[in-house]
Chain A
Amino acid sequence: MTERLLVDVRDLRVSFPVGIGTAGTGTVTAVDGLSFGLRAGESLALVGESGSGKSTAAFALLGMHRGTGAEVSGTVRVAGTDLATATDAELRRLRGNRIAMVFQDPLSALDPYWSVGAQIAEVHRVHTGASRRASRARAVEVLDRVGIPDAARRAGAHPHEFSGGMRQRALIAMALACEPEVLVADEPTTALDVTVQAQILDLLHDLRQQTGMALLLVTHDLGVVAGATDRVMVMQDGRAVEHGSVQSVLRAPERPYTRALIEAVPRLEARRSAPPVSEEVLLRVEDLHRHFPAPRAAASAAASLSGPGQAPGSGEPSGEAEETGAPAGRPAAPSGGLGRLLGRRPRHRAVDGVTLEVRRGETLGIVGESGSGKTTLGRMMVRLTEPTSGRILLDGRDIAAAGERELRPVRRDLQMVFQDPVSSLNPRRSIGDSIAEPLLAGGTGGAAARSEVQGLLERVGLPAAWYDRYPHEFSGGQRQRVGIARALAVRPRLIVCDEPVSALDVSTQAQVVQLLGELQQEFGLALVFIAHDLAVVRQVSDRVAVMRRGRVVEQGDADTVYDSPQHPYTRRLLAAVPVLDPDEAAVRRRARAALRALDRSEGGEEAQAVA
């Protein structure tokens, strides 16, 4: 060992007791004999599917299993301190000071009551004993460092006034407050949009280069790894199955598990090999609108943001500055005008004049970032949400304004598969009952429904005998299969899939996507596939619509949109998609930096034009 190891983990084992109380006791080994080291300036990614123990291992670095009932063995040394023998006081000095953590969910990791600046200052003050004023200044400094525009003013803002990306930046700023030697980032971009994800990863990369800190990145996404770290460790069931440089592991994986993981990552280039689909239009939406009353806070935030926050050269790429804290959108009524005086609230145009069509048997992909209105559009297509105005033509008949009774006959034609595998199934009904519900509601007898559902279960790849099991007994991927079976039960002609795979591991994603494709062939279904993941959408779609702020900015044949994007927004989205090749990732990172610089100058021009 020539150089001092900052992080030295040897034969780490973590196990948790399970079944406390009634169900009998046992232990689950989450991490099983893990060893790795990190030197200053190095970066390592822990990659694995959910349940592989990657987060548990990362938590062990901060001694966060202490007092939780978890059994930890092996040695973990961080900056010379042995975490097993360190006193609580030593541990506290270590945490936040020499090793800091960035969490997955930036909203729940920030205290909604305190301003962002105050929370960062607090960390600094606790560790350095600096004065309030000095800590405050430090908070502004690190916020500026992570690219928050107008940091001095924004430091006084509360977390809800920040967008998801800005919150994650604030969390990183908090971690940087004491200039830690090691930064542990636990899925830092999982909850973020692809363009924001790229920005955060670039930020982490730049910070590491500038400060020489070591980075441990925990992620399930191999695409993220290529651009962000030097080394990668692939974990499976608590063990490291492969460990090496990013180049060697991603280009020439040795283990079949790693190979399978890499193959499962959806690729932007992978086009859909589909038979020609019919030109017959099944569902057509015309000039569809859906407006929501904007919350007061959002309206004022939108107003304040268009003020000094957008000063030229403030350093914030416009892509992110647009999505302010709450769903600000574009107020329809000019704020501060007569409308406001009369008490008319500004309205948020979630969907703002969309026209598109779905043809029989085809897949229409809808991509866009959070808040672009794609879910609202999808819910309107199946008439779960009532449109504010516009037409929805099913077989040429307008159902946009139909009441619940008129909708009865067409309900079965239009089904939906939901994003969240947890809330989409009634936890108190067996999955068989849930799938059978539309059949029973339609008057099918109990026995007939049961055998039909068992057939459907088998069709989506689940044993028919699982009819009586409850949703909590299933994994996310299995629940999604149940959701698909339920949508299929009434033999629909169109299924709107709202982010059906975004909550799943990559390998599970691939299986569910494949299943959807097979079912489409078999039943001649038309699919509307809503997702923020551009690669997945390309994989499944015949045609694609790109949504931004309630409007479709570009639509067309999937190959055309992906290979020669016309709209700048589409181009930016495509540039932000993570790639598996490390060299290509570096090229793209530079390209993004150039694009951002361009945005900045454009933003400056715009601001000047407005002034």
Chain B
Amino acid sequence: MSETATVSRPAAEATEPRRRGQVWRRLRRNRAALAALGVIALLVLFALAAPLLAGLEGQDPTTFHNDLVDSATGGVPFGSFGGAGAHHWLGVEPGNGRDVFARLAYGARVSLAVAVGATVVQIALGTLIGLAAGLGNRLADTVLSRAMDLVIAFPELVFAIALMAIVPDGFPRPVLLALVIGVLGWGSPARVVRAQVLSLRGLDYVSAARLGGSGRWRIARREILPGLAGPVITFALLRLPVNVASEAGLSFLGVGVRPPTPSWGQMLSTATTWYEVDPAYVLLPAGLLFVTVLAFTVFGDGLRTALDPRAASRLRVGTRRRAKD
């Protein structure tokens, strides 16, 4: 710790970068989290470079290749592993013969963007509303808590279908998807945040801040929010794969992204009718989805640990707790 260096600098500037540096240093020691971060980076790169990669392969995601599928069997690709080869690296789609690699790469864009967008919306709304419920007066808490119940109990799918159907076609579908999934899914993060706020609010250090003359918002920002980071980040990273699946479900039902725009969920949904004759077509999007979920989960866990200064030293200073008065 470079105490001598920081002591001379003013507090506000000195502590922030130092803190961030610490988080990164702790994260760097966690190999699993680093590996997961690498995988996430690769996935993002994969999505961003989709046109480039498809161009490298010499294919695009929308061209039909009827000559590569066996019309006698209803469209099973010729060749092993879904017709994988030098021209189509991961084979072609059963039925109409579109290139799987290109569709996976383009699909990654939609899937990741929608899932990330939806998660951001959910967490932002959830944190705000949960914070307001946890810190507000009794009336605010009651009203907001019932609103959470409502959102959680709501038949999400039905509402999503209805929403997706009434919005005019001109609205960009991925943005719409992210908004709809996000607006319908803030209930549980809000509950998690509210519960955490309630437990933090009762702690002595919050009382101490009140005695020190800190106002409500200052307390929320300085004392409560940092304590929420752990649970919220973990929640967000676990929520992300769920949102990938939500997108898939809606796309499968025909209210998500419109074909021919590819998405993993859409591919997975169509693959369900082909898994017996063309297992490769199921395994590829499913495998990618699995890797995505795992990577985000492992990274989320690592980040949560790194954000917590107590976990850093793994040293528990033992002070006996007595029964409180």
- Chain A residues packing against B (C-beta within 8 Å): 18-23, 50-51, 104, 107, 164, 187, 190-192, 370-372, 374-375, 379, 382, 384, 404, 408, 411-412, 414-416, 418-430, 432-434, 436-438, 441-442, 445-447, 449-450, 454, 464-465, 467-468, 470, 472-476, 479, 483, 486-487, 489-490, 498-499, 502-504, 530, 532
For B3, the closest partner residue in chain A by CB is A465
Residues of B near A370 (CB, < 8 A) are 323, 325
Docked-complex contact A425 and B205, CB < 8 angstroms: yes
For A375, the closest partner residue in chain B by CB is B325
Docked-complex contact B214 and A438, CB < 8 angstroms: yes
Residues of A near B4 (CB, < 8 A) are 465
What's the Cα separation between A374 and B6 when bound, in Å?
42
From known contacts A429-B226, A437-B209, A449-B11, infer whether A479 and B204 are also in contact, taking CB-CB under 8 Å: no
> Is B215 interfacial (CB-CB < 8 Å)?
yes
Most chain-B CB neighbours within 10 Å: which of A371, A418, A430, A472? A472
Query: Which of B162-170, B250-258, B306-314 forms part of the interface with chain A?
Result: B306-314
Docked-complex contact B323 and A411, CB < 8 angstroms: no
Residues of B near A19 (CB, < 8 A) are 314
From known contacts A434-B205, A465-B7, infer whether A427 and B323 are also in contact, taking CB-CB under 8 Å: no
What's the Cα separation between A21 and B313 when bound, in Å?
11
From known contacts A411-B212, A426-B226, A438-B214, infer whether A502 and B322 are also in contact, taking CB-CB under 8 Å: yes
Residues of A near B87 (CB, < 8 A) are none
Residues of A near B14 (CB, < 8 A) are 468
For A439, the closest partner residue in chain B by CB is B212
- Chain B residues packing against A (C-beta within 8 Å): 1, 3-4, 6-7, 10-15, 18, 26, 29-30, 203-205, 207-216, 218, 222-223, 226-227, 229, 308-310, 313-325
Residues of B near A429 (CB, < 8 A) are 222-223, 226
Residues of A near B26 (CB, < 8 A) are 22
For A469, the closest partner residue in chain B by CB is B1
A473 nearest CB across to chain B (Å): 7
Residues of B near A164 (CB, < 8 A) are 323
Residues of A near B310 (CB, < 8 A) are 427, 470, 472
For A414, the closest partner residue in chain B by CB is B211
Most chain-B CB neighbours within 10 Å: which of A21, A379, A470? A470
Docked-complex contact B313 and A472, CB < 8 angstroms: yes
From known contacts A420-B204, A428-B226, A446-B12, infer whether A22 and B212 are also in contact, taking CB-CB under 8 Å: no
What's the Cα separation between A50 and B317 when bound, in Å?
10
Docked-complex contact A468 and B324, CB < 8 angstroms: no
What's the Cα separation between A442 and B1 when bound, in Å?
30
Docked-complex contact A468 and B6, CB < 8 angstroms: yes
Q: Which of B1, B13, B210, B321 contacts A420 (CB 8 A)?
A: B321
Most chain-B CB neighbours within 10 Å: which of A433, A441, A442, A503? A441
B176 nearest CB across to chain A (Å): 37
From known contacts A20-B314, A436-B11, A503-B320, infer whether A489 and B211 are also in contact, taking CB-CB under 8 Å: no
What's the Cα separation between A522 and B202 when bound, in Å?
32
B228 nearest CB across to chain A (Å): 10
For B222, the closest partner residue in chain A by CB is A437
Is chain A's interface secondary structure helix, strand, loop, or mixed overall?
A: loop
Given contacts A424-B208, A473-B317, A499-B322, 16 further A-B contacts (CB under 8 A): A191-B322, A375-B325, A384-B207, A419-B204, A421-B319, A422-B321, A423-B205, A429-B226, A436-B11, A465-B7, A468-B15, A468-B18, A475-B319, A486-B212, A489-B212, A503-B320
Docked-complex contact B212 and A375, CB < 8 angstroms: no
Docked-complex contact B322 and A430, CB < 8 angstroms: no
Residues of B near A487 (CB, < 8 A) are 208, 211
What's the Cα separation between A476 and B309 when bound, in Å?
17
What's the Cα separation between A451 and B3 when bound, in Å?
14
Residues of A near B6 (CB, < 8 A) are 468
8 contacts between A and B (CB under 8 A): A50-B318, A372-B325, A420-B204, A424-B203, A427-B310, A441-B209, A476-B320, A503-B319
What's the Cα separation between A441 and B213 when bound, in Å?
7
Docked-complex contact B222 and A371, CB < 8 angstroms: no
Q: Which of B208, B215, B226, B324 contacts A375 (CB 8 A)?
A: B324
What's the Cα separation between A441 and B212 when bound, in Å?
8
Residues of B near A475 (CB, < 8 A) are 317, 319
What's the Cα separation between A446 and B14 when bound, in Å?
10
Q: Which of A22, A371, A416, A450 contacts B30 (CB 8 A)?
A: A22
What's the Cα separation between A374 and B324 when bound, in Å?
11
